[in-house]
Amino acid sequence: MDGYFLHLTRKIETIRRGNAPTTMLDELKSREFWRDVLAELFLTTTFIFIVTAVSSPIIPFDSTEGIVTRISLASGFMVAVEIQMLGHVSQAHFNPAVSISFAVAGRITPLRAALYVIVQASGGCLGTLILKSMTPAEMHGNLGANSINDRMTPIQGFGFELVQTWVLLMSILGCIDTNRPLFGSEAVGIGLTIAALNLAGIPYTGSSMNPARSFGPAVVSNKFDDHWIYWAGPITGGILGTLTYKYIFDPYSKALSYEQVEKKLLEEHNKGVKTQLEPNMKEFVHVLDTHHV
């Protein structure tokens, strides 16, 4: 029932806003499309600014555990805040791996994914530049740039980012599945996933899971060592996670959609009404014939 309630609220919202564009050309001409693109730019800029700021050594920590905890919690909280803030506008991806994975799964158009990735990468740079303008010059050499652990190989780093983003996309799709019962806030669920993955992954690769998160600091700090890891790993893992959920774990993949259920119920209702009316109609016709009306 929870899922059906959400379905009804989304149908009401669609009626309020009007039908979505049916083609990519219509989408390109839509004011709402460019509003969504602008929202992704804003979300990515603010997210990268906060995450790189919390990664900055402007406040020294006595232990690595303190730094990891600080970054993990701030990242998880910020993800939850941004999804809650503008998730109903652009879906709040602010991550090229998410946008590309959603396009592969058919959740958004390739055009939307392409524009999202462009503004997300731009927002990563803009957020880091804003941080750079507010930090001492001696810190400009590494404004939160990701790097793999010295004891890891690039292939290991790629694999680690792949697995982490695989888990992330599985969590995202599970949290936003409109068929599931209401088990709590989507934003909180995804934010907790980010925090948990960061707690585990920061000592290994910096736990990016987001090419825009790595791209902005790399450009501004001019640090591109093993940078390909932070694009190839998250995008590959994101696609694998999306396909895994869609084709293996989605419990509703073969179930009727709510529209199909509504249609079936309406047909059964009409059939039942017709069955109840037929005897009465026959009696009524008989009365008419008897009185030669």
pTM of the model: 0.84
Statement to judge: residues 132 and 271 lie in one domain? no
Per-residue pLDDT tens for 241-261? Answer: 999 999 999 887 777 766 677
CA distance 135 to 142: 11
> What's the average model confidence in pLDDT over 252-274?
71
Statement to judge: residues 167 and 47 lie in one domain? yes
Is the separation of the CB atoms in 47 and 120 below 8 Å?
Answer: no
| pLDDT for the residue numbered 1 | 53
Statement to judge: residues 269 and 216 lie in one domain? no
Per-residue pLDDT tens for 184-219? Answer: 899 999 999 999 999 999 999 999 999 999 999 999
CA distance 199 to 151: 19
Domain housing 279: 256-293
Statement to judge: residues 55 and 22 lie in one domain? yes
Q: How confident is the model at residue 224 (pLDDT cuts 50, 70, 90)?
A: very high
Statement to judge: residues 250 and 270 lie in one domain? no
What's the DSSP call for residue 18? -
> What's the average model confidence in pLDDT over 36-64?
90
Statement to judge: residues 12 and 146 lie in one domain? yes
- Residue at 37: amino acid letter: V
| pLDDT for the residue numbered 134 | 93
Domain total of the chain: 2
Statement to judge: residues 162 and 276 lie in one domain? no
| pLDDT for the residue numbered 56 | 83
Statement to judge: residues 248 and 267 lie in one domain? no
| pLDDT for the residue numbered 282 | 60
The CATH code of the domain that includes 92 is 1.20.1080.10
Statement to judge: residues 138 and 277 lie in one domain? no
Statement to judge: residues 261 and 213 lie in one domain? no
Helices (H) and strands (E) in the chain — how many of each?
11, 0
Q: How confident is the model at residue 130 (pLDDT cuts 50, 70, 90)?
A: very high
